[in-house]
Structure 1
Amino acid sequence: MALAQVAAPAAAPAEVQTGGTLVVASLQKPRHLNPAVQSGIATAVPGAQIFATPLRFGADFTPQPYLAESWSFSEDQKVLTLKLRQGAVFHDGQPITAEDVKYSMDVVKANHPFNSMLAPVSSVEATDPQTVTITMSQPHPAILLALSSALMPVLPKHVFDDGTDIKASSHNNLPVGSGPFRVTEFEPGQHIMLEKFDKFFLPGKPYLDRIVIKQYKDANSAGLALEAGEVQLYPYLDSTRLVQRLEKKSNMTVTDQGYAGIGAMNWLAFNTKHPALSDVRVRQAISYALDRNFVTKALHGGLSKPAYEPVVSSSPFYTDAVEKYDFDLDKAKALLAEAGYGEGGKPLALSIDYLPENEEQQHAVAEYVKAQLAKVGIKVSVRASPDFPTWAQRVSNHDFDMTMDQVFNWGDPVIGVNRTYVCDNIKPGVVWSNTQSYCNPEVDKLLASAAVEPDLAKRKEQYAQAFAQITRVAPIYFVNEAPYFTAYSDVVQNPPVSIWGPMGPMDEVWLKK
């Protein structure tokens, strides 16, 4: 199937038609709207509209000015200086200053699950009201990416710094922000209403009057709403059957652009503290019992690709030199027998969780895992969660045996990969951290070194060594690279197709009347 190639540049001012309401379909159910303390699509999409970030990115990995109009590094690459725009204000009219950026970076470093993202940052100073000085213990190759959309919202210190725990702050539900849209209504499980901020620091933007993020129970209902004209934009579409249906509509475009920054993949994660799953032979046996090619071809219609290691194949750090666990039932049975399970051994019963509202990419694969493991003598029960918060609570508190997760690379391993494997990121209550409880001090050293190594070739080698060690003991079975698409009606102009896609600001999106 041929997918549309969408140009990223903004329309010329004379072409833009301002006003109107963009309705965005979402299957995500955010608990709150503060991406400084939460990762993931659910919070990041509205968060990128509510909060500005120091930098932004376009269609490639070249940083662009946003709240910071310029930046510079010291000669040793250990000091980054940001110069903020003059006259920028928060939604309550208070000026955005360097103190707010310093406060926001401190909040993210202390509370965000991606603890490796700012690990080299030793201090952040507000040198003057418009200057932020970031001092790092070592060069940080991903620092500019970490200061961009979905990762570094600039919060108003005068609102959030009130002495309460920011993770439980009441301000997270209807936050005062710094971005192109202000939130006026948040009904969890139903919709998020975002209104144009008339004093946004980029003159003439945003083009839209409002954005409504409308939440649907499943992909099919969201797709029907798009076809009926109730919705104009449906991002993070991963139902291959729906993609094939919508691509045939003459008044619609379907594109796979806008997801380069996230590097999405599905995997089967093991709780390595489980009595049976603590045995590497059991994890390896399960890995050999599963067939990625069946998943990608039969279950996903050929629109996804097999995954083998912690990064996707489009990453510059992809190695293709890891233990892949190609499908082999005989090997699986032999390893289980060696571990004392299977035929003639102890019975083994496990449960598997999966992300809700993700039928094709998660639930269907979970049911496939159940059927496959029955062939090697493992009884699996599939445990459904009624909603994302329930799933997240179970997984983040390590209340699971196996779980189907969908995770992102987030552009650079230091942001989205290290977090899953480093020992000090085993944090109960934090989803998409090291919920597998995997810990290897040697891997910690490799990841820590790669996180601050300025030489790209050396970084690649360090990650290659780490990935080889991780896959050898299989805390995770990598299933497939998740296929993401955006479908939108022909009234939508300048759709969000930067590297961050819908997790970036939609200040340049407009509607043709």
Structure 2
Amino acid sequence: MKVQGTLKALRSLAVGVALVVSASPLALSVAHAKSTLSLGIVLEPPHLDPTAGAAAAIDEVTYANVFEGLTRIGPNGEVLPALAKSWEISEDGLTYTFELQDGVTFHDGTPFSAEDVKFSLDRARAEDSTNAQKPLFAAISAVNVADEDTVQVTLSEPVGSFLFNLGWGDAVIVSKESAAGNKTNPIGTGPFKFDRWIKGQEISLDRYEGYWGTPVALEEASFKVIADPNAAFAAMMSGDVDAFPNFPAPETLIQFEADPRFTVAVGSTEGETILAMNNESGPLSNKLVRQAISHAVNKQALIDGAMFGRGTPIGSHFAPHHPAYQDLTGTYAYDAEKAKELLKEAGYAGGFTATLKLPPPQYARRGGELIRSDLQKVGINLEIVPLEWAQWLSEVFREKNYDFTIVSHTEPMDIGIYARDDYYFNYKNPAFGDIITQLNRETDKEKRYALMKQAQEMIAADAVNVFLFQLGKAGVWDANLQGLWVNSPIQANDITGVSWKN
């Protein structure tokens, strides 16, 4: 922090001198001196292997920075080449032939080849796979190495989103030699290599000098874990961090907006924030009860109170910025009396007691208190149980040991999770599964959009969860910093294009 302060002071001195005389070599050297980045993140990842965990925090550190896939998702949600420089698709949509980049090596010096692609995709779709998004690879029937620079992937059925799916963090390419150790010592092909991890504090990356593509401007980057909103505010104000792409204290943004030292960038995310309900847990197995709860939650008050107005109400599990979005926010308008009527009809006129298990993010902790108050008004009493992220992943996500929880699903285009019988919602509707099966096979854009609308309507009608709001993205960073993403079409802090202004 002292070094950073010294550099800023020298910049100011150089500007003052330039008013009297022409810029000196010293001033020019100072202007180009900064090549490090300190970036704040709210959640510490449980580990650093994006192919073996559901936590978005893993991708927030490693996506595009350390690991790369055959394709990558750009800042506007577009599919771009990555380790595959080009591809061809057969007329029947079943065979994808990928031509790979030249001169690629993993960070340990191991050469990258088509064998690594085959290993990674076969590993992700294997019966014993621990990949959190294993269904992304379900349609792959074979991966064949044509030569060291060419790989063919054959599908059992057309998948309209296949190239997009390959751009997820869960689909990055890993090396057989180092894959087993990626949780603690990630070794990828990206422009940054792993340096160190001080648990509870920060994860540091260094520029990989052997990178195959365009060299990045930054020499070093550190991801500092700052969960407390007050601490995040103080860290930005003091210069302890240069940027906070997902700033956790929206109530303080007005102060940053008024300060010329900072840029405040407000964008959108893929984060559908929901009051998730265990559809097999006691009263919640009754659709009438779930519908009552959906009417009982005041979404706009929740957005105003927990997010300080930064969030867009949603009526289903779908991002409002997508062209296929169906506005279903009126399906369960806030109506406490209607909620009481539905509870009475369901046989719960006296209400019931349940648990609300909350992960660490502030939208969950703040929102939980407001939702408890709303449900108490209709006779439902919630016991709030705060959990750390690892506990939440274990108890809620994997073991399904919960009644209610609040979480933001930040994966792109993830409405298909409702078709998974073993998913933590415990929602089982064969008709919905049929819609997703058709969607996965359909390649025509308009037909895909029509199916997406049907899917949105069905889970809203079934009140699988209470669909709260689309998580807004408010980033704060040094005004001299450029290249950070404003929107989050994928859960990532892609710093490959970040640099400091001269």
Shorter-chain TM-score tier? 0.7 to 0.9
The corresponding residue for 1:392 is: 393
Q: Structure 1 residue 323: deviation in Å? A: 6.7
Residue 65 (1) aligns with residue 81 (2) = yes
Contact 2:73–2:490 (Cα < 8 Å) also in 1: no
Q: Structure 1 residue 18: deviation in Å? A: 7.8
The corresponding residue for 1:365 is: 367
Q: Structure 1 residue 339: deviation in Å? A: 2.0
Match of 1:232 among 232, 242, 250: 242
Aligned residues: 467
Most deviating of 435-444 and 60-69 = 60-69
Most deviating of 463-472 and 434-443 = 463-472
Contact 1:322–1:471 (Cα < 8 Å) also in 2: no
Q: Structure 1 residue 99: deviation in Å? A: 1.0
The corresponding residue for 1:402 is: 404
2:177 is paired with a residue whose SS is: helix
Task: For 1:93-492, list aligned pairs within 5 A.
Answer: 93-109=109-125, 110-148=129-167, 150-160=169-179, 169-203=180-214, 205-257=215-267, 259=268, 262-321=269-328, 324-343=331-350, 348-356=352-360, 358-359=361-362, 361-385=363-387, 387-396=388-397, 397-410=399-412, 412=413, 416-419=414-417, 421-424=418-421, 426=422, 434-492=423-481
Q: Structure 1 residue 478: deviation in Å? A: 0.3
Unaligned runs of 5+ residues in structure 2 are 1-30
The 3 A distance-change label for structure 1 pair 18 and 35 is farther
Q: Structure 1 residue 325: deviation in Å? A: 0.9
Structure 1 distance, partners of 2:90, 2:62, is 31
The 3 A distance-change label for structure 1 pair 495 and 363 is same
Q: Structure 1 residue 296: deviation in Å? A: 2.2
Contact 1:220–1:242 (Cα < 8 Å) also in 2: no
> TM-score if structure 2 supplies the norm length?
0.88
Match of 2:47 among 28, 32, 37: 32
Contact 1:342–1:378 (Cα < 8 Å) also in 2: no
Unaligned runs of 5+ residues in structure 1 are 1-15, 161-168, 427-433
Larger-Rg structure: 2
Return the structure number with greater relative CO, CA threshold 8 A, min gap 6.
1
Q: Structure 1 residue 321: deviation in Å? A: 4.8
Contact 1:18–1:208 (Cα < 8 Å) also in 2: no
Structure 2 distance, partners of 1:287, 1:502, is 27
Q: What amino acid sits opposite 1:480 in the alignment?
A: F
Contact 1:238–1:484 (Cα < 8 Å) also in 2: no
Match of 1:495 among 484, 494, 497: 484
Q: What amino acid sits opposite 1:455 in the alignment?
A: D
Name the structure with the higher helix share.
2
Contact 1:256–1:486 (Cα < 8 Å) also in 2: yes
Contact 2:71–2:163 (Cα < 8 Å) also in 1: yes
Structure 1 distance, partners of 2:459, 2:430, is 12
The corresponding residue for 1:164 is: none
Residues 221-271 of structure 1 deviation map (CA, whole Å, 9 limit, x = unaligned): 1221111111111012253213222222211111124x5xx5112110111
Contact 1:38–1:113 (Cα < 8 Å) also in 2: yes
For the aligned residues, what is the CA RMSD? Answer: 2.1
Q: Structure 1 residue 19: deviation in Å? A: 6.1
- Percent of residue pairs bearing the same amino acid type: 26
